[in-house]
């Protein structure tokens, strides 16, 4: 049974329970006339049982509402965790890709360093050979340079050239060493970045594990709440079945009460009067509303709260309900039996001014406009029933009548 259906079902049952006070009054009158079929004590007991079930049903409804709220909170938290885990997974993949790129860069730098080391080694070996040759040649080499020179200036130029070749070899080796050091420094930086990326990835992975554990805990919590909801819903269904059975008994008692007491009362045939003088605005008609039949009309207007409500016709008060559960049913309300199966109902009152069994005349003040029960603003809910069936009140009343 959907929550909306349960709400309207419960609303209807609460209204039925409120009618019992009037039924009891009629039954006591019947017992005074020695009509034994339906006893007031039996109906009173049914009323007590119904009210106890109604209270238990309300407790279950409130608990189920709390469970639903907790479940929604857990689901929202779980959804947030799921989104955060998804983001972390993407970040971890990016960090792993960054690590792979760094490792590839390090491998390239290692190859470049190895090549530089080979170049240095090769040039160094050539340099050593030239030095050895120059050392072994000694002065003869200088003499050879002199003899091969055309002039003294040519000799000096050749000597400078030999020295410059030696200096060039030395400079080349130093340059290669510097480049090797630069590559080593770059590789050290890459290795440092790689270590930092690995630490970040591990931190993310640890956070992911933590969030995954929290996600699993929320799943367990949601499942536990669902289990409790199921148990309470099953209990509520059982309560509802008991209430349905009791409602059937009460309905039978009401019909018997009508048969024993009400059929002897004749309707006067006098026309019905507008129940809320000076206020003509109808805010809700006799029609389907929110998937349910709105069985009366709602009359309201500026400053209507506390305004007098009058009996639409003369008759006997059969219900004068002054207690109610906020948010449910008609709140404080009055029902008047006009004879011949005609009954009027005046709901959501702020104050009830009549009592069960009281005779009232058309136009007598019976209550004041309020906002009690299942109401969202001060107004009068007015119904006309014929033989227990709700009729369109506008077929019986009009403003000014």
Is the pLDDT at 81 greater than 80? The verdict is yes
Full-model pTM: 0.42
Tally of residues, the chain: 401
Closest Cα to residue 6, out of 231, 239, 333?
A: 239
Contact in structure between 127 and 170 (CB atoms under 8 Å): yes
Pick from 180, 177, 190: nearest CA to 114: 180
- pLDDT score of 12: 39
Q: Which residues contact 333 (CB under 8 A, 6 or more apart)?
A: 18, 319, 321, 345, 346, 347, 348, 349, 352, 367, 373, 381
> Domain 1-264 falls in which CATH fold?
Helix Hairpins (1.10.287)
Q: What is the rounded distance in angstroms from the CA atom of residue 243 to the CA atom of residue 238?
A: 9
Contact status, residue 380 vs residue 275, Cβ threshold 8 Å: yes
As a whole number of angstroms, the distance between CA 57 and CA 236 comes to 6
Q: Does the structure show a pLDDT above 70 at 43?
A: no
Which CATH superfamily, name and number, covers 266-401?
Glucose Permease (Domain IIA) (2.70.70.10)
Q: Where are the domains of the chain?
A: 1-264, 266-401
Same fold, 1-264 and 266-401: no
pLDDT digits (tens, 9 = 90+) for 87-133: 888 888 888 888 888 888 888 878 887 887 787 777 667 666 765 66
Decide if 68 contacts 6 (C-beta within 8 A): no
Choice among 197-211, 213-227, 355-369 with the minimum mean pLDDT: 197-211
Is the pLDDT reported for residue 143 higher than 70? no
- Does the pLDDT value for residue 139 go beyond 50? no
| 348 pLDDT above the threshold of 90 | yes
Q: Is the pLDDT confidence value at 258 over 60?
A: no
């Amino acid at each position: 049974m959907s929550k909306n259906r349960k709400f309207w079902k419960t609303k209807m049952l609460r209204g039925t329970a409120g009618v019992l006070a009037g039924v009891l009054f009629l039954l006591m009158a019947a017992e005074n006339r020695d009509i034994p079929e339906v006893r007031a004590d039996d109906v009173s007991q049914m009323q007590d049982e119904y009210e106890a079930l109604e209270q238990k049903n309300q407790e279950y409804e409130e608990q189920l509402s709390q469970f639903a709220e907790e479940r929604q909170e857990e689901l929202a938290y779980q959804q947030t965790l799921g989104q955060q885990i998804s983001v972390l997974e993407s970040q971890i993949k990016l960090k792993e890709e960054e690590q792979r790129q760094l490792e590839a860069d390090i491998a390239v730098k290692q190859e470049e360093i190895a090549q530089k080391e080979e170049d240095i080694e090769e040039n160094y070996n050539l340099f050593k050979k030239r030095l050895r040759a120059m050392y072994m040649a000694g002065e003869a080499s200088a003499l050879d340079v002199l003899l091969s020179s055309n002039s003294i200036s040519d000799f000096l130029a050749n000597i400078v050239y030999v020295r410059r070749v030696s200096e060039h070899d030395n400079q080349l080796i130093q340059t290669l060493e510097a480049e090797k050091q630069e590559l080593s420094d770059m590789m050290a930086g890459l290795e440092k970045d790689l270590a930092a990326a690995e630490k970040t990835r591990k931190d993310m992975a640890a956070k992911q594990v933590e969030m995954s554990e929290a996600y699993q805990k929320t799943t367990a919590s949601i499942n536990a709440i669902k289990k409790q909801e199921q148990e309470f819903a099953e209990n509520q269904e059982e309560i509802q079945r008991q209430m349905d059975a009791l409602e059937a008994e009460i309905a039978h008692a009401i019909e018997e009460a009508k048969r024993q007491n009400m059929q002897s009362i004749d309707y006067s045939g006098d026309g019905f009067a507008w129940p809320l003088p000076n206020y003509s605005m109808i805010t809700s008609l006799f029609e389907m509303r929110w998937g349910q039949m709105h069985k009366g009309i709602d009359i309201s207007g500026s400053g209507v709260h506390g305004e007098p409500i009058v009996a639409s016709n003369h008759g006997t008060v059969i219900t004068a309900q002054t207690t109610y559960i906020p948010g449910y049913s008609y709140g404080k309300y009055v029902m008047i039996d006009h004879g011949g199966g005609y009954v009027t109902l005046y709901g959501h009152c702020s104050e009830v001014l009549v009592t069960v069994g009281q005779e009232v005349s058309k136009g007598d003040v019976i209550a004041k406009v309020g906002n009690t029960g299942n109401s969202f603003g001060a107004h009068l809910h007015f119904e006309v029933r014929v033989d227990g069936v709700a009729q369109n009140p506008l077929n019986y009343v009009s403003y000014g009548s």
